[in-house]
A and B are shown apart, each in its own frame.
Chain A
Amino acid sequence: MDVAIVGIGIHPFGRTPGRSGLQQGAYAARQALKDAGVEWKDMQFGFGGSASAGSADALVNELGLTGLPFINVANGCATGGSSLISAYNAIKSGEYDIGMVVGFDKHERGAFNADPKQMGIGEWYGEKGLMITTQFFAMKIQRYMDMYGISRDTLAKVAQKAFMNGSMNPNAWRRDEIPLDEIANSFMVSDPLTKYMFCAPGEGGIALVVCRADKAKQYTDKPIYLKAAAFRSRRFGSFEVFAPSQALQQVDGPTVDAASAAFEMAGVGPKDIDVMQLQDTESGAEVMHMAENGFCEHGEQEALIQAGETRIGGKMPVNTDGGCLASGEPIGATGLRQVYETCLQLRGNAEARQVPNDPRLGYTHVYGAPGISAVTILQR
């Protein structure tokens, strides 16, 4: 049984002081139901999550106590992707016809501060100032730049493109373009990454109505089919965040594993993808994820990005909605935002930021602590 997305909803990303994270989730859920032309009581199941805004299943108090099974999903940055995979499997099993996936969040200002104990690491690690995700991303791209000749200017260009796309997205948080030299010369958070090259914890909500593919046309004339959904965790030897030590011999990370599983599942290859959303926690992540997902060879990013090929009019448009850099990172919602944007692009409804030539296949990729990745491939 194939699976289709027939309704999509979003609560604008950024800061919404008057509305809780849960209410932002409910807002997105109502939009998605309306988009599919269904009601909450029609939903046979719910999967959802938030990292900092309470239990997703409390949404039933907002949307109606219908008795449906609603399962909370908590999987760090892959929470949204994991919720979608859970829904995908629920429908594929034949057990359910239609249901909802939802993710929302509302984080405090400033960088995330993780607790070493929760990750099974000694308190000394946090005490010494090593329990900081930004350091990991900086150290990964630092070595990558050294190995593959990626320039600091290319890192700045990734952020510039994100804000350019964000300026065309009414639901983005950062909607003003930022000049290249301002990005390059802003505060050095963690060498080689400056302030504007990092996403910030934020707020937002996304909901999707998913159903059996053979019933999709009942709800919409533009169903988007979920051709693949794969999730992988790290294998021994992959370089990951919050690692007091790591192996001498490196192996491919979870992104590479999830990507190849997804391509195999969908029966397509990287060259077939028309539009892609790749985890851009910071500029360097987008660069490395282009190659880790199979869209280019290691090192080719330098020429591709300098030539503008990852822009909306380029041959491989990446993060068309501005990505995490322009949208912020509400953990529970971020992976589903990528799916929302891909649905808009494949429906041809992305307006000012629409990728030309009627894109047919889209790709989403999240990566997060402590070494997990989720990929989907979507087709109109």
Chain B
Amino acid sequence: MSKKIPIAEGLFTWPSDNPALLGSRCQECGIAEFPRKLSCPACGSENVVSEELPRRGKLWTWTIQGFMPKKPYLSDETPETFRPFGVGYVELPGAVCVESRLLENTAEDLKIGMEMELVVGTYRHDEEGNEIVGFAFKAAN
């Protein structure tokens, strides 16, 4: 039977019914970072703790990846089935701006400042047919 495996350990809470991205926050200067690191990018302190990041935020900027990337890109697609995908930064209030794939993939559907929400779901399948679970953002309802 196929399993659900996160694309990387420690990127988001897993398993979970309501996953959140996991960041680290510096206890000295208050700066948050994603993914979690062992030290703070602003002041270099090693006094950082893990925290769940907000699931909603505003779109800070975006683009659309028009061609199928070369390795290390890995997906279920072939050059024939590839469809352009959205990429953006989402401003998570009080935390950090996170870069992510977006479920929207046309210029008409994307606007700086729009409200976005986290989705955690199947990104691709591995050789054994397991589901590799990743994160993305989509326009919030």
Pair A135/B70 contact, Cβ less than 8 Å: no
The digit string for A172-210, where 1 denotes a CB below 8 A from any CB of B, is 000000000000000111111000000000000000000
User: Would you list which residues of chain A between 104 and 148 have a CB under 8 Å from chain B?
Assistant: 110-111, 113, 115-116, 122-124, 126-132, 135, 138-140, 142-143, 146
Report the separation of the CA atoms of residues A126 and B60 in the bound assembly, to the nearest whole angstrom.
Answer: 21
Q: Quick one: which of A124, A236, A237 contacts B134, CB cutoff 8 A?
A: A124
Pair A191/B134 contact, Cβ less than 8 Å: no
Report the separation of the CA atoms of residues A236 and B95 in the bound assembly, to the nearest whole angstrom.
Answer: 15
For A121, the closest partner residue in chain B by CB is B35
Q: Does A244 contact B (CB under 8 A)?
A: yes
Question: A residues within 8 Å of B by Cβ?
Answer: 110-111, 113, 115-116, 122-124, 126-132, 135, 138-140, 142-143, 146, 187-192, 236-237, 243-248
Q: Quick one: which of A127, A237, A244 contacts B72, CB cutoff 8 A?
A: A127
Q: Does B139 contact A (CB under 8 A)?
A: no
A115 surroundings in chain B (CB, below 8 A): 72
Report the separation of the CA atoms of residues A299 and B98 in the bound assembly, to the nearest whole angstrom.
Answer: 26
Instruction: Report how many A-B pairs have Cβ atoms within 8 Å.
Output: 112
New A-B pairs, 8, CB < 8 Å, besides A191-B107, A248-B97: A111-B70, A113-B72, A129-B101, A146-B61, A188-B66, A191-B66, A192-B63, A244-B35
Q: Does B87 contact A (CB under 8 A)?
A: yes
CB distance from B11 to the nearest CB of A (A): 7
Q: Quick one: which of B8, B96, B99 contacts A248, CB cutoff 8 A?
A: B96
7 residue pairs A–B, Cβ–Cβ below 8 Å: A113-B69, A124-B8, A124-B134, A131-B73, A143-B60, A143-B112, A245-B34
The digit string for B95-132, where 1 denotes a CB below 8 A from any CB of A, is 11111010000010000100000000001000000000
Q: Does B65 contact A (CB under 8 A)?
A: yes
